[in-house]
Every structure is written in structure tokens, then in C-alpha cells.
Structure 1
Amino acid sequence: MSKKLTKNKKKIIEKISSKKYSLEEALFLVKEISFVKFDASIDISVHLGIDIRLPNQMVKGTVTLPYGTGKNVCILALVPKDKESEAKKAGADYVGLSYIDKIKSGWTDIDIIIATPSVMNQLGTIGKILGPKGLMPNPKMETVSINPEKSIKEIKSGKITFKADRYGIVHASVGRVSFSHQYLLDNIKEFMRTIIRNKPSASKGSYIKSIYLSSTMSYGLPLDLKSFVKK
């Protein structure tokens, strides 16, 4: 196993140069240097010129990727009884306020929680569990919704949330190695358009510092900002 890994690493190193790649070049190469035996995720990391200590420079929001991420997003819908049937039909994996107690016991096997405004006052007791995991419903991330059915459908069809981490970097999955070149191009361009639109007015100087593309367990490839940001 270790020999094979060394061989693969050698192949990767031979293919990678120190240059910055155009988006098209990086997409071809990131697929070539993916050696895992499953359909790896293609991920983007965007380092922003923001001061995340200042609330008016936080970058977060949602974007609908034209072709989704290729991942089945597991959704918990915390909704009143009269909305449970709608949430199930829309595709929520788990539905109902009974899951609040389950979360208190340590269960968090979900990717996203959608909640209605009317139940938010019941989530205070699990805030300390959900907050650190990025699961707390938030109106700005459109996970607190008066129309949970619509929100669930949108997420299942490719809507993702993003938020700059403490280093000012936004990480997101933008597809899979099995996706066509065009699908990945369209997803990444839509993601970057949204990041650029979300530039805080208080952010001064260079907004996009660097962009890296990688696949699961592979090296990150630096993208040429000039050629990319124009798109």
C-alpha cells in the first residue's frame, strides 16, 4: 500500500509545476492527479483580503451551483407539526421537533438544518452543540425559512452555503471528479461570481488573494487570478 502511495505521489509531483494555472488547465490536472478509488470531491479554497474580526467584513451567503455538488446533502427539518408532511415531500431526510432531544444526546449526523422562525426559540438549548459544527440555522444563510419546503428543494438541487473561516478563507465543494469539464467550469464560475458580488464595501485593497483547486486527498493547484477573475 505504501509503495503504491509513493508511486502516486511521485506521479503527482512530476505533473505539478510551480506556476499558477488557468482554471481550464487546473481542472484537467486536478482530475489527473486524483488517485483515490472513489469519486473524489473537487474543492475550491478562496483566500480573501478581509479582516474577519470586523463584522462588516464577514463574507458568507448561499449560491446555487448549476450542477450541484454530486453529494447527497442530509437535511433535518425542524418545523411545526403542520409543516412536517411538506418537508418530507420536499426531500428532508429527518423531520420533526423530536430531533431536538436527539441532538441534546449528541446526535448530529446531518449536513444542514432548516428551521422555521417559529421554532427558533426552542433551539437555544442546543445552540452550543450546533454552533461549533456550523449547523445552527441562520436567516442570512437562508436556513431559517418561512417556506421550508422551497428551501429544502433548493438545497437538494445544488444550493450551498459558504462562510469565510477565521483565516479569511472560503472553502467549498464544487463537484466531483466524475463531473464533465463543462459542469465543473460552470459551477466554479457561478461560485466565484457570487463570492465577488459578496465583497464587503469595507474591504480595502486586494479582495481575492489566492484561489486553490484540489480534489479529496490531493495537492492544491494555485489558480492564475488574472485569467480567472475576469471570467
Structure 2
Amino acid sequence: MKHGKKYNASAAKYDLTKKYDVASACKMVQDMKYAKFDETIECHISLRLEKNATVRDTLVFPNQFRGEKKVLVFCKGDKVKEALDAGAAFAGEEYIDKVKDGWLDFDVAVATPDMMKDVGRLGMVLGRKGLMPNPKTGTVTPNVAQAVAELKKGRTEFRADKSGIVHIAVGKCSMDSEKVVENVNTLLSEISKRKPVGTANFVSSVSVSSSMGPGVWVDYKEGE
């Protein structure tokens, strides 16, 4: 793959064929940043998964780097006030018709279990945008207050793609490097907890990079 002059000049600063500890890798990524905007730092974790297996869950990073999310809660009765009091931007059953008509002015959707029969009909709209509530990610729950609070704190979904790789943003180049390191270590810890029993070397490889810059291999060993 051909890269531009700025990318190549940035990549020439270090030996990118080697692996580095998390702290060193994150500092290198920030040092190699060359775009004028505040690039996002991404982590890519390759997993050894059985055929048709996947890893999917959520976590809350200790150090947030994104704006506060607008949360929509599909609910009715007393749950509407509970959701709004917890900080939801929108709550109620009337939003089903609004979404059906094309309204999508929210970042994440939550639903109580009794609403899923109706919310499920929005699959063509919410599914395409990755907004469909799902019990696996804690967005289908009777405890809407807890869900809203965690989402506003930055609860983030991670999942392995068809190739068994988890791609996820872990920070910004403008952040203190120590905070980025803490986020990466939190992610690695959460991924390791999903290791299937009897699986050796579950994490095949780990790398970090900025939005535009070169990737850096992380010297990661399970159990660290």
C-alpha cells in the first residue's frame, strides 16, 4: 500500500517492525501524529476464535474522550420519568412512530423488555445505523436509570468482526498519554475476561494507531 510523504516521514521515526509495551506504543502513536485535527487513537486486537464464534460486550473507559451521548429510551408509564431523571434526552413510547418516520436525533437507544415487540419493527431503520437495543449490550433492560447513567459516562460496545478482530477507539492524541494507556489496559483486561475455557493464546496480536498515522505493535502477553 502506498502512503503519502507525511505518513512515511512519521513512520520513519521508529522501528515499526518491533513490538513495544503499551505505554511506549501509545506515546509513539501520539508522537507520530501529523494531521491538523485531533486524531482518534484506535486499538486493534486480533483474537483466536472458533468458527462462527464472536466476542461482544460493553465497557466503561476510565478516561472519557467523546462528547456526552444523547440517549433515547423506549419505555412507558413510570419508566419515562425514571429515564428522564437519569439524564435521558428522550423517553417514551411515542418515539417509535417518530423513528419510523425517519427521526434519528440521538446517539444510542435503550428499551425496556415490554417495548421490544414494537421496537423490533424498527429493525430496518435502527439496524442499519447500529442503534437497535440489544440485551447483550445492556440496552434492553428494565433498569433504565442504570443503563442511561452508564451510557452517559461513556459505556462503549466492543465486538469482534468476521475476521476475529476488535477495532475500537481508546482516546485522542491530545490526551495525556497515561490516560490513553489506562484505557488500553482496561480494554485488554475486559477482552481477556471473555477468553473461552481451554483456549490458549486467545489474543493473537495487539496494535495501536491514530486515525491517519502508522500502527504500532504492542508486546502483549495474556495474564499481564
Interval of TM-score (by shorter of Structure 1 and Structure 2)? 0.7 to 0.9
Residue 84 of structure 2 is matched in structure 1 by: 88
Q: 1:185 and 2:181 equivalent?
A: yes
* One of 63, 66, 74 as aligned partner of 1:70: 66
- Deviations, residues 62-105 of structure 1 (Å, cap 9, x unaligned): 21211234343332211214322332232223333333223323
- What percent of counterpart residues are identical? 34
Question: Which consecutive aligned stretches of 4+ in structure 1 deviate over 6 angstroms post-superposition?
Answer: none
Alignment CA distance shift 1:43-1:71 (3 Å) = farther
Distance 1:46 1:200 in 2: 16
Distance 2:145 2:36 in 1: 36
Gaps in structure 2 of 5+ consecutive residues: none
- Deviations, residues 30-58 of structure 1 (Å, cap 9, x unaligned): 111222333322211111100351xxx32
Matched-pair contact (CA < 8 Å) for 1:51–1:168:
no
Q: 1:38 and 2:37 equivalent?
A: yes
* One of 112, 118, 123 as aligned partner of 1:116: 112
- Deviations, residues 95-148 of structure 1 (Å, cap 9, x unaligned): 333332233234445432111111111112112332343322111211112111
Over aligned residues, Cα RMSD in angstroms?
Answer: 2.2
Q: 1:213 and 2:211 equivalent?
A: no
What is the TM-score normalised by the length of structure 1? 0.85
Shift of 1:205: 4.0
Q: Secondary structure of 1:66's partner?
A: coil
Alignment CA distance shift 1:25-1:116 (3 Å) = same
Gaps in structure 1 of 5+ consecutive residues: none
Residue 161 of structure 2 is matched in structure 1 by: 165
Matched-pair contact (CA < 8 Å) for 1:212–1:222:
yes
Residue 27 of structure 1 is matched in structure 2 by: 26
Residue 219 of structure 2 is matched in structure 1 by: 224
Letter in 2 for 1:118: D
Distance 1:66 1:46 in 2: 19
Where is the helix percentage greater, Structure 1 or Structure 2?
A: 1
Distance 1:130 1:24 in 2: 38
Distance 1:110 1:214 in 2: 28
What is the TM-score normalised by the length of structure 2? 0.87
Distance 2:149 2:201 in 1: 36
Distance 2:105 2:209 in 1: 25
* One of 76, 87, 99 as aligned partner of 1:103: 99
Distance 1:51 1:132 in 2: 27
Distance 2:70 2:36 in 1: 23
Distance 1:41 1:52 in 2: 31
Matched-pair contact (CA < 8 Å) for 1:58–1:200:
no
Shift of 1:212: 1.5
Alignment CA distance shift 1:30-1:74 (3 Å) = farther
Matched-pair contact (CA < 8 Å) for 1:40–1:177:
yes
Shift of 1:179: 1.9
* One of 6, 9, 12 as aligned partner of 1:11: 9
Distance 2:11 2:32 in 1: 9
